[in-house]
């Protein structure tokens, strides 16, 4: 295992500085090979591609990528698990991961032991490229679920030392634990770091002096990012990923955009299924090029990004950079008790039959949800949307769902959440 890990790691590390054209050529070859593999080995893809009349032979150039149907989480959820797995793979012998309930109904993901190591190596590559060393003490601010109950041999030898701080503890307790650990590196959910930075600001001094802070999980707004940087005395680096894929894009010392790991994923930004030009906004569509047990091909993640730009970064990495824009154009919603609801919580786009959506809050107790019907839209779609929105907003809010023919854009932005409550009325 270690030999596989080491040789793969050095290959991944070399990729960071290889010519972009060379990497893109390999990316395209890997993509084609994966589509062929999925067509002949994964019943889910065979059925889907046959249904729309697509055959992998049609992939002659990059422009043909659009011919491969997009998939969404809901499509997987509607399919028998065994049909989502490649032939020869048995769910009992694979590692299981589960998307969290907070991002909608959970989806089970299955990876081979080698895939799992590969994910870890991609993660480590990001940390090392940002200056972490093998001996740096890390504090991982995490919920219980992610704490492993064993230590690797190399950790017992003093490499990659890691201690956990529980995010569910009070900010005071977390800071006391951090002080004991005295970490050089902190890795944490973004929201946990915001709470800790708030606490440090109240205290007037920071009990630790990490050299590096990595955040992940939720996109930070610039005020929260500034708060963390100021209170911890760092310039944090954010990592973008999801349970389905692992870490997929990340910030470097430049902290300008997110490098996309094009040796492991194929990224697209699309509007209405069509790719947008470099630098323009679209919804993120990802193909995981390194997962063979349960392939994800043209998986619509739904976050709004700019299509990767290929300008050279001063950190030396040749991977293009994209910007994450999710939430930027969206308003907050408010419950009748005036508590704020993040637009990121809603997973309306993952509901079967929904192509696009828009929510308009007319009053604290009145919300309109417009749905642009997708291919699988039927009589169950609107009630399902209504149920999900009610779950998030709580009782006492009138949820009006309706199917519409178009969803207007405002100044070219896809605003999914619009609040018509006057600013003065919000607390």
Q: 198 vs 254, which CB is nearer to Zn ion? A: 254
The residue assigned the tokens 């929105």 is 389
Task: Provide the minimum distance between the beta carbon of 214 and Zn ion in the complex, in angstroms, as a whole number.
Answer: 15
Task: Provide the minimum distance between the beta carbon of 39 and Zn ion in the complex, in angstroms, as a whole number.
Answer: 36
Residues 317, 322, 347, 393: which binds Zn ion (CB under 5 A)? 317
Of the candidate spans 9-17, 68-76, 107-115, 307-315, the one that interacts with Zn ion by CB under 5 A turns out to be 307-315
Of the candidate spans 86-94, 162-170, 309-317, 335-343, the one that interacts with Zn ion by CB under 5 A turns out to be 309-317
Q: Is 276 in the site for Zn ion (CB under 5 A)?
A: no
Task: Provide the minimum distance between the beta carbon of 47 and Zn ion in the complex, in angstroms, as a whole number.
Answer: 41
Of the candidate spans 88-96, 165-173, 176-184, 245-253, the one that interacts with Zn ion by CB under 5 A turns out to be 245-253
Q: Is 315 in the site for Zn ion (CB under 5 A)?
A: yes
Q: Is 249 in the site for Zn ion (CB under 5 A)?
A: no
The residue assigned the tokens 């959440």 is 417
Q: Is 313 in the site for Zn ion (CB under 5 A)?
A: yes
Of the candidate spans 165-173, 251-259, 273-281, 339-347, the one that interacts with Zn ion by CB under 5 A turns out to be 251-259
Q: 107 vs 249, which CB is nearer to Zn ion? A: 249
Task: Provide the minimum distance between the beta carbon of 317 and Zn ion in the complex, in angstroms, as a whole number.
Answer: 5
Is the Cβ–Cβ distance between 182 and 208 less than 8 Å? Answer: yes
Is the Cβ–Cβ distance between 158 and 180 less than 8 Å? Answer: no
Neighbours of 46 (CB within 10 A): 14
- Per-residue tokens: 270: 């699309």
Of the candidate spans 82-90, 127-135, 181-189, 308-316, the one that interacts with Zn ion by CB under 5 A turns out to be 308-316
Task: Provide the minimum distance between the beta carbon of 15 and Zn ion in the complex, in angstroms, as a whole number.
Answer: 14
Task: Provide the minimum distance between the beta carbon of 126 and Zn ion in the complex, in angstroms, as a whole number.
Answer: 11
Task: Provide the minimum distance between the beta carbon of 68 and Zn ion in the complex, in angstroms, as a whole number.
Answer: 30
- Residue 376 dihedral angles phi and psi, to the nearest 5°: -100, 20
Q: 126 vs 193, which CB is nearer to Zn ion? A: 126
Residues 38, 75, 86, 252: which binds Zn ion (CB under 5 A)? 252
For residue 96, CA distances in Å to 118, 129, 173, 409 come to 15, 28, 32, 39
Count, residues near Zn ion per rule CB under 5 A: 5
Q: What gap in Å lies between CA 212 and CA 247, rounded to an integer?
A: 18
Task: Provide the minimum distance between the beta carbon of 108 and Zn ion in the complex, in angstroms, as a whole number.
Answer: 34
Task: Provide the minimum distance between the beta carbon of 313 and Zn ion in the complex, in angstroms, as a whole number.
Answer: 3
Q: What gap in Å lies between CA 302 and CA 295, rounded to an integer?
A: 18
Residues 254, 275, 368, 386: which binds Zn ion (CB under 5 A)? 254
Q: Is 372 in the site for Zn ion (CB under 5 A)?
A: no
Q: 319 vs 334, which CB is nearer to Zn ion? A: 319
> How far from the centroid of its chain's Cα atoms is residue 268's Cα?
14
Q: What gap in Å lies between CA 333 and CA 354, rounded to an integer?
A: 21
What does the binding site for Zn ion look like in residue numbers (CB under 5 A)? Answer: 252, 254, 313, 315, 317
């Amino acid at each position: 295992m270690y030999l596989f890990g080491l040789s793969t790691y050095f290959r991944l590390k070399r990729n960071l500085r290889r010519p972009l054209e060379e990497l893109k050529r390999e990316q395209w070859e890997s993509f084609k090979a994966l589509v062929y593999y999925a067509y002949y080995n994964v019943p889910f893809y065979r059925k889907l591609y046959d249904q729309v009349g697509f055959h992998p032979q049609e992939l002659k150039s990059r422009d043909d990528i659009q011919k491969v149907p997009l998939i969404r989480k809901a499509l997987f959820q509607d399919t028998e698990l065994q049909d989502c797995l490649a032939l020869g793979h048995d769910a009992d012998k694979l590692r299981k991961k589960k998307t969290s309930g907070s991002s909608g109904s959970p989806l089970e993901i299955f990876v081979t032991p080698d895939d799992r190591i590969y994910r870890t190596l991609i993660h480590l590559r990001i940390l090392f490229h940002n200056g972490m060393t093998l001996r740096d003490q890390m504090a991982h601010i995490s919920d219980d679920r992610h704490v492993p109950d064993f230590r690797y041999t190399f950790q017992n030898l003093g490499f990659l030392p890691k201690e956990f701080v529980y995010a569910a503890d009070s900010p005071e307790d977390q800071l006391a634990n951090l002080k004991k650990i005295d970490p050089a590196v902190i890795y944490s959910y973004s929201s946990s770091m915001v709470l800790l930075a708030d606490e440090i600001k109240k205290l007037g001094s920071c009990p630790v002096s990490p050299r590096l802070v990595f955040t992940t999980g939720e996109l930070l707004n610039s005020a929260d990012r500034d708060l963390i940087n100021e209170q911890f005395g760092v310039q944090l680096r954010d990592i973008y990923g999801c349970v389905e894929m692992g870490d997929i894009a990340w910030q470097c010392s430049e902290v300008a955009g997110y490098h996309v790991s094009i040796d492991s994923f194929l990224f697209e930004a699309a509007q209405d299924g069509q790719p947008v030009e470099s630098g323009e906004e679209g919804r993120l569509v990802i193909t995981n090029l390194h997962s063979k047990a349960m392939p994800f091909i043209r998986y619509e993640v739904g976050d709004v990004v700019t299509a990767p730009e290929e300008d050279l970064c001063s950190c030396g990495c040749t991977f293009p950079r994209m910007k994450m824009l999710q939430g930027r154009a969206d308003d907050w919603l408010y419950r009748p008790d005036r508590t704020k609801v993040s637009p990121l919580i809603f997973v309306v786009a993952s509901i079967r039959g929904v192509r696009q959506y828009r929510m308009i809050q007319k009053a604290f107790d009145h919300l309109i949800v417009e749905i642009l019907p997708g291919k699988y839209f039927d009589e169950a779609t609107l009630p399902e949307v209504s149920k999900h929105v009610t779950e998030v907003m709580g009782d006492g809010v009138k949820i009006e769902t309706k199917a519409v023919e178009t969803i207007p854009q405002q100044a070219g932005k896809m605003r999914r959440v619009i609040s018509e409550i006057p600013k003065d009325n919000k607390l």
